[in-house]
């Protein structure tokens, strides 16, 4: 398989958020600012990559009937590791994201890639797939967080450029849906052109 195609599908054609609509709970929940979105995206990328690697390595030892519980245990372990490491090395980010980190376990994106891709493909393909999917997810959260932070708070990466409040709606839940809707529209346009 062409590895570049395999990698870029996670960014565009099969982007987790804009095309597959997987993992929307953390997507809508944490993207109130760029930093939060990117932090969540990178944490998910790490979990996705590690679980893809482990699943593809041991795929032949797991009987079919217990594959889902096995994958979940593997994913949950990596999520807990991320949570602990984040508390040590990135305490300020953990203060913001702490609530959402355990939710990576139930992010359908991670289990979906383990089940649909890593358990059927070679080691290299799985690593590339995990990276592509994870970075695609991070990219989506970056754009969503960017739009919401600019419109809702009048700042970018914490740097304020207007005085006072922005459009509060965009910080609240409805704003997440509105921004996501428009971003999906743009993504569809791009995908149509390249297809």
Partner 1 sequence: MGKKESSFVNMVITLFVITLTASIALGFVYEFTKVPIAVAKQAAKMKAINEVLPEFNNLPNEEIYKIVIDNDTLYFYPAREDNKLVGTAIETYTNKGFSGKIKLMVGILPDGSINNIVVLEHKETPGLGDKMSKSKSDFSLQFHKKNPENFNLSVKKDGGDVDAITASTISSRAYCDAVKRAYNAYIKGGKK
Binding site for partner 1 (CB under 8 A): 30, 32-33, 36, 60-66, 69-70, 73-74, 76-77, 80-81, 84-85, 87-88, 91, 95-96, 99, 152-153, 165, 168, 171-172
Question: H/E element holding 155?
Answer: strand 155-156
Least spacing, CB of residue 99 vs partner 1, in Å = 6
Residue closer to partner 1 (CB basis): 20 or 48: 48
Q: Which residues of 53-80 are buried (b: 16+ CB within 10 A; e: fewer)?
A: bbbbeebeebeeeeeeebbbebbbebbe
Q: How far is residue 178 CA from its own chain's centroid? A: 19
Name the residue among 13, 15, 18 with its Cα closest to residue 182: 18
Least spacing, CB of residue 152 vs partner 1, in Å = 6
Residue closer to partner 1 (CB basis): 35 or 109: 35
Least spacing, CB of residue 125 vs partner 1, in Å = 18
Residue closer to partner 1 (CB basis): 64 or 193: 64
Least spacing, CB of residue 124 vs partner 1, in Å = 18
- What is d(CA 160, CA 170) in angstroms, rounded to the nearest whole number? 16
């Amino acid at each position: 398989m062409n590895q570049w195609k395999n990698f870029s599908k996670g960014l565009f054609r099969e982007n987790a958020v804009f095309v597959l609509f997987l993992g929307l709970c953390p997507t809508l929940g944490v993207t109130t600012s760029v930093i939060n979105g990117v932090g969540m995206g990178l944490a998910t990328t790490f979990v996705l990559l590690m679980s893809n690697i482990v699943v593809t390595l041991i795929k032949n030892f797991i009987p079919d009937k217990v594959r889902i519980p096995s994958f979940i245990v593997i994913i949950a372990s990596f999520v807990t590791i991320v949570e602990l490491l984040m508390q040590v090395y990135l305490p300020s980010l953990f203060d913001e994201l702490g609530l959402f980190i355990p939710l990576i376990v139930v992010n359908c994106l991670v289990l979906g890639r383990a089940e649909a891709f890593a358990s059927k493909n070679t080691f290299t393909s799985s690593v590339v797939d995990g990276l592509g999917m994870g970075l695609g997810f991070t990219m989506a959260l970056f754009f969503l967080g960017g739009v919401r932070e600019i419109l809702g708070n009048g700042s970018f990466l914490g740097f304020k450029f207007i005085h006072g409040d922005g459009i509060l709606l965009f910080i609240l839940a409805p704003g997440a849906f509105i921004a996501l809707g428009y971003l999906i529209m743009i993504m569809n346009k791009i995908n149509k052109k390249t297809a």
